[in-house]
Amino acid sequence: MPERWLEAKAAAIGAAEILARELKLTPLFARLLARRGFSDAAAADAFLQTRLDALHDPAGLPDMAQAVARIRLAVEHQEKIVLFGDYDVDGVSSAALMARFFRVLGYAPVTALVPERDSGGYGLSAPAVQRIKAAQPKLLITLDNGTSAHAALEDLAAAKIDAIVVDHHQLPPEGLPRACAVVNPQRNDHAYPFRELCGAGLSFKLAWALAQAFSKSAKVSPAFREFLLDALGFAALGTIADVVPLVGENRILAAQGLRALGRSSAPGVTALLRQAKIEGLPNASDVGFRIGPRLNAAGRCGQAAEALELLLTEDSARAEELAAKLEVLNIERQGIEERILNAARAQALARLSEPDPPRALVLTSADWHVGVIGIVASRIVEEFHRPVLLLALDEAEGVARGSGRSIKGFNLAEALAAGGELLLTHGGHAAAAGLSVASAQIEAFRTTFESVAAERILPEQLHASLEVEAFVPLGEVTSEFCRELERLEPCGMGNPRPVLAARGVRIAGQIAPMGANEQHVSFFAGQNGTVLRAVGFGMGEHFNALCDLSKSEGFEIAFRPQLNTFRGETKVELHLRAFRKTATNESKLE
């Protein structure tokens, strides 16, 4: 259970009252919006509405005009085009989206490729470059990769293959690669107002700009309009699965894209939804925890090309076959993940039991599957609250390939760059990154990485914390308020589902264990005449602690409220996140 509760900064005085009055919101929901930085009704309303007309003109992205001009030239001259994505959901969705655009355009000389983890790994590796050369294109469009591929793009240029890079990863110290266009919002030489688009979001923007160009108007043709509305679903897959902040344009793409997925006629999408047992409109959790893992399973335990084929096929029978195969691969992935987790956890515990434990972990084994270590890294970070790199060693090649995940406040991509001279490749984001390193350099890199972590991570960052948006009276947690909370969806990074807290809570009645193994608990939380049911999923181990607190004069709970319908009756239910004795200083949460 988190040791620290961190309350969000208070909103500007009067802002919540203005929002509540002008947007006709409950005072509590208005306070939450104000705490999230919405000080005027227009901005808050735009956030809640997620209207498509709030998306920015794609022409504002760096090098978009050059990218569109080069693609139009390729079409005019009937040049062969290769689309090169990535093996994760973002890269596969990006490649599928652009391939589908060229179908609508009626342009056939287009081949969509994705790399494979076990034969070269991420991006424009040597095997990938050879595959591209073998396809003999005149134009390469990289999607969700390419920003750091300087040597590969020079090699392709020497083979007279032009390149357009469409990517969102951070720029390396050596600057932009050789390409006709580098459409990357991380560049500092542009005024585009939103920098957090992922690969699929950028692919949607490129398709939109091309649709305008081929329509010869800012208003696209009916065929392109229908395509773009459907393509929002592919943009949402990448946006949600890549865990980019769900704010600004990403929020619009995710919200509108989830609706597009629900109405999609693409056989692969409908087959995926059926395999994942999703009925009606999918939500962000469905993509993040049910659809995304199935698509990723192809790249982790099979061939990423099968995930791409699934999103591209128009054959319903083939779609069902591929979706069923991904289901099997996902189950296989779960078993592999559990075995790696147990081994990695043992290594982590051994390192952390040392007299001077490191503030970041570099764990390695020759028995680990490179396609699964990223997921395991996330779970190790969640348990031990420090940055983690997992390296899968290929003893025959003498190379380890790894994935890392970080904690808030420690930029993983920058930390890898600090030891970049010891690495063969590296890249990624603040929260997640990938790398490869020669076996002989692992220990030297471990020392450097741990040193960087020791300098940049404060001791308090190594402890779990819970971000609480506000302490509230339970009487304000009404059905109307819970319905308003649903307007914050889709929630995710940058737009989390709110965690609220209440003081002076008493337990009304008995605490009841739940579940076949009594792994959950439930009780009725009372405060000043309001009584609401609270459920602690996975909190069975805290049953005795709750019983002790029930004898006190009052304690504090942190929770996520939501509506629960049972036997036709809908009531507010509190999903417990944490509880503790009443703080001695109520103005200080830590």
SS (H, E, C) 161-205: CEEEEECCCCCCCCCCCCCCEEECCCCCCCCCCCCCCCHHHHHHH
What does the alpha-carbon distance between residue 136 and residue 152 come to, in Å, rounded to a whole number?
15
**Distance between CA atoms of residues 162 and 148, nearest Å:** 16
Is residue 584 predicted with pLDDT exceeding 60? Answer: no
Q: Do the domain assignments include residue 4?
A: no
Cβ–Cβ contacts within 10 Å for residue 376, how many? 26
Looking at residue 173, its pLDDT comes to 84
Give the whole-angstrom CA distance, residue 321 versus residue 326: 9
Domain count, the chain: 3
Query: Is 391 within a domain?
Result: yes
Q: What six digits make up the tokens of 55?
A: 């998306």
CB of 116 closer than 8 Å to CB of 303: yes
Could you say which of 462, 492, 520 is where a domain stops? Answer: 462
- Between 222-241 and 89-105, two packed helices, what is the crossing angle to 10 degrees? 170
Question: Is the residue at 192 inside a domain?
Answer: yes
pLDDT of residue 587: 38
Same domain, 431 and 512: no
Question: pLDDT digits over 442-456, tens only?
Answer: 999 999 999 999 999
Q: What is the CATH number of the domain that holds 455?
A: 3.10.310.30
pTM metric for this prediction: 0.90
Q: Return the pLDDT at 589.
A: 39
* Positive or negative: CA dihedral 146, 149, 150, 154: negative
Check if the beta carbon of residue 234 is closer than 8 Å to that of residue 198. Answer: no
pLDDT of residue 583: 63
List the CATH number of the domain containing 478. 2.40.50.460
- Kindly report which listed range (242-246, 257-261, 308-312, 499-503) carries the lowest average pLDDT score: 242-246
User: What does the pLDDT look like over 228-287, one tens digit per residue?
Assistant: 999 999 999 999 999 899 999 999 999 999 999 999 999 999 999 999 999 989 999 999
Is residue 581 helix, strand or coil? strand
pLDDT at 66: 98
**pLDDT tens digit sequence for 317-356:** 999 999 999 999 999 999 999 999 999 999 999 999 999 9
pLDDT at 553: 80
Same domain, 132 and 209: yes
- Do 319 and 452 fall into the same domain? no
Instruction: Tell me how far apart the alpha carbons of residues 545 and 258 are, in angstroms, rounded to a whole number.
Output: 41
Q: Are residues 93 and 202 in the same domain?
A: yes
Last residue of a domain, one of 462, 488, 510: 462
Would you say residue 385 has pLDDT above 90?
Answer: yes
| Residue 490 confidence (pLDDT) above 70 | yes
Q: Is 278 exposed, middle or buried (0-12, 13-18, 19+ CB in 10 A)?
A: middle
Domain contains 42: no
Q: Please indicate, yes or no, whether residues 378 and 474 belong to a single structural domain of this protein.
A: no
What percent of the chain has pLDDT above 70? 99
Element (DSSP H or E) covering residue 77: none
Q: What is the model's pLDDT at position 51?
A: 96
CATH of the domain at 286: 3.90.1640.30
Question: How would you class 96 by CB atoms within 10 Å of its CB: exposed for 0-12, middle for 13-18, buried for 19 or more?
Answer: buried
Q: Classify residue 264: in a domain, yes or no.
A: yes
- Residue 277 belongs to what domain range? 54-327
Show which of 414, 446, 462 is a domain's final residue: 462
Q: Do 159 and 253 fall into the same domain?
A: yes
CB 453 within 8 A of CB 387: yes
| Rounded mean pLDDT, 287-316 | 93
From the list 241, 135, 265, 92, the residue with the least C-alpha distance to 273 is 265
Based on the domain organization, do 267 and 393 belong to the same domain? no
Are 235 and 375 within one domain?
A: no
SS (H, E, C) 321-379: HHHHHHHHHHHHHHHHHHHHHHHHHHHHHHHHCCCCCCCCEEEEECCCCCCCHHHHHHH
Instruction: Report if residue 43 sits inside a domain.
Output: no
Is the same domain home to 148 and 219?
yes
Judge whether 46 lies within some domain: no
267 and 359 share one domain: no
Residue 302 has pLDDT above 90, yes or no: no
